[in-house]
Amino acid sequence: MAVVRYFAAAQEATGLDTERRAEATLGELRRAVSEEFPGLSGILPRCAVLVGGSRVEDDTPLGADDLVDVLPPFAGG
């Protein structure tokens, strides 16, 4: 199962720092967390979602060793 790390507003919306997820692709993961955490669905489209530190397409398969970071837009200077 992939490990998903939530940061900033995504962490607030889910109430989680990290969790393990069993979805097979990034797109499936996006849909599942949007349904499970309604507060996240409003910000997820604006988030950078990285797999292994890189932006990838939604059809990218997720493996047991993958690290997925959900990074909302950050403000500040």
pLDDT digits (tens, 9 = 90+) for 26-53: 999 999 999 999 999 999 999 999 999 9
Residue 25 has pLDDT above 60, yes or no: yes
- Tell me the average pLDDT across 12-31: 98
pLDDT for res 76? 55
Cα–Cα distance for residue pair 51/10, rounded to 1 Å? 16
Q: Kind and range of the H or E element at 34?
A: helix 26-36
Bridge partners, residue 71, by sequence? 48
Cα–Cα distance for residue pair 3/20, rounded to 1 Å? 5
Q: Is the domain covering 2-71 a CATH 3.10.20.30 domain?
A: yes
Tell me: the pLDDT tens digits for 56-72? 999 999 999 999 999 99
| Cβ proximity of 73 and 47 under 8 Å | yes
